[in-house]
Structures are given as C-alpha cells and as structure tokens.
Amino acid sequence: MMNNIKVIGLGALNIDHIYNVGRILDDGEAVVEEAGYFPGGSAANTIYGLAKLGVGTGFTGAVGDNDEGRLIIDDFKKVGVNTSQISVKQGVKTGSTLCLSDRSGKRSIYVIPGANSLLSDDDLDPAYINRVNLLHLSSFVDDSQFRLSLELVNRLTPSVRLSFSPGELYVARGLKALAPILARTDILFINRNEVQKLTGEDFNKGAEACRQQGCRVVVVTLGKCKGLTGDKASPAVCYIRDAGIEYLIEPANRAETIAVDTTGAGDAFAAGFLYGLLNDRGLEECGRLGDITAQFKISKIGARQGLPTPTRLAQKYADLYKEHL
C-alpha cells in the first residue's frame, strides 16, 4: 500500500550482462571466468536493497514489453517494491548493460539505454513521489531524462529528502550542469574518482566543494586510501562530510572479503547507509552499515545477489562492533 512507502527510486532500469574476467584488457584476449545476467540500474539496486531490509519502497522508471522487462518487475515484486509507477514501453527493448569485472575490482560498463530513453513527464506522478520520506535519484543516458530529473527535483515538496547517486554519466556533465540537483540534495553518494572528476579536488576538499553547492551530507566511498593527514595508510572505506564535521569510516577488524564481483557495490553501500538514516542512526553508524551491506554484495556475482536481510545485517554488525542495532 502507498501509505507504507517511505522511499521511491528514480533512475534507469537495466539488465546487467556481467562477465567476470581475470583482468580487463586494453587490447588482447582473455577467458571469461563467470558470467550471468541480472536486473540492475543504480537507483534500482539501492531500492531493492532497502526493500530486502524491510523498508517500504517504490520505483519510477521504464522497461520494454519483453522478457527482460518482466524479469525486472518480477524481481522488484519478490522483495515487495511497489511497481505501479514503472511504465512498460511497447516496441522497444529494456535497457541493458555489458559489465566487465576483474579480480582487482576494476570494471568497464557499456550501456544501451533502450526503454529508459522513452521515460517522459507523462510517466511521472509528482503526487506519488511527494508523499514519501525520501527520493533516491540516479542517472540516465539521454538529455531528455536529465531535464526530466531537474524538473522533478524542482517540484519536490520540502518534506521529501533527496539522495543522489550521479555516477559516471552525470559526473561527466560537470558541476555547473548538476548544480540545481546538488542544491536540493540532502545526501550525495559519490566515489573518490567521481568527486575528483566533478570538482578537481581529492575526496575531502571535493566533498566540501559539493557541500558548497548545497548538499547537506556528502558520502564519498573510498576503498583503501591514505589517511586524511597525509602519509599514514588507512583502510578507510568512506568519508562523510556534514556541516564542518567529517567522519572517516574504517571497517572493524575482519578478514578481508574476497570480491567476487564489485558491480553495484556503491548502490549496496547507499542502501545500508539509507537504512541507518531512516532508522535515526548517526552518520558514523550509517557509514558502517553501508560498508557491511557492500561487503555482503561483493561476495556474489550480480548487483543484488548478496544483499542482506535485516537479521543478517544486524548479526554482522553485532559481530564486528559488539553493539546491537
């Protein structure tokens, strides 16, 4: 029921064709070690993760009238995502991606937008979106859907918080183009490479530059990096900036998770972080929950296969931090 929906996602809906390879090549030939196809899309993965954690969710987007489109809708329904606002476009294919992922965590992703490029203003119901606590927004390929996102952000009521995962496609548009969305963003999810490309600064100064654009909280996922003060190496997984306060989140002592596939790891992080935020947890705890959720995800091939239930997340959190959620 609509009354139970707290978070709505808006973004591309794709089928990910994932190929795990020994290494990504500039040129040459290599063997595919594992392959599969799975429902995907950045905001869609985060919404799926939140739904699996028991959060009432819905999604707005477009798929084609084919088996892939039905697979995407059915996958959402399995975890209780409201799919009433997903438009089925006739005569076009569902969006798809070709994802190459290697053992070091490097990825190459190629996008065919398909039905996503037909999403129009007629497919959006502002009343549906403006009744929820939070809108989670990610990218599209084409200019028309980018303009659609800008217009929707401008029509959000003040009570709706906005979380934004721009990804490589929107980062490539530049800071000036994204400024109207950043000015309305409550939580920005961005990785270290993206924030450098967007602002020309490293993660800490880049996060502050995003805050100067209007973002309330900036979450930069890092992987392993050097400490904030310079030379000392730090196993930090994310950096959080909020109104002059900064948090560097380091994982609790644990065996290093073997990364089977990193596709969707950032989306999983966002799901864990937002789950904490919706349950009134502090930013540091939200960062820990994001990291744990991402660690579950990278243990399986596919952007959603390893995502945890609330029980598994709580158990892992208690094991690592000796605290109960």
Q: What is the CATH number of the domain that holds 79?
A: 3.40.1190.20
Is residue 230 domain-resident?
no
Structure tokens at 80: 């209780």
Rounded Cα–Cα distance for residues 32 and 323 (Å): 41
Is residue 221 domain-resident?
no
**Domain carrying residue 34:** 2-165+257-321
Is residue 50 domain-resident?
yes
Is residue 160 domain-resident?
yes
Rounded Cα–Cα distance for residues 208 and 116 (Å): 32
Is residue 245 domain-resident?
no
pLDDT at 28 (0 to 100): 86
Is residue 27 domain-resident?
yes
Task: List the end-to-end C-alpha distance of the chain, in Å, as a whole number.
Answer: 27
- Count of structural domains, the chain: 1
Name, in order, each residue with C-beta under 8 angstroms of 273's C-beta and a sequence gap of 6 or more: 187, 189, 219, 286, 287, 289, 290, 293
Rounded Cα–Cα distance for residues 65 and 90 (Å): 5
pLDDT at 101 (0 to 100): 82
Residue-wise over 167-189: b if at least 16 C-beta within 10 A, else e? bebbbeeeeeebebbbebbbbbb
Residue 2 and residue 82 in contact, taking contact as beta carbons nearer than 8 Å: yes
pLDDT at 255 (0 to 100): 59
Residues of the chain with pLDDT under 50: 225-233
Rounded Cα–Cα distance for residues 306 and 297 (Å): 4
Is residue 182 domain-resident?
no
Rounded Cα–Cα distance for residues 298 and 99 (Å): 14
User: Measured in whole angstroms, how far is the alpha carbon of residue 237 from the centre of its chain?
Assistant: 15
Give the pTM.
Answer: 0.94
Is residue 191 domain-resident?
no
- Helices first, then strands: H and E counts in the chain: 11, 15
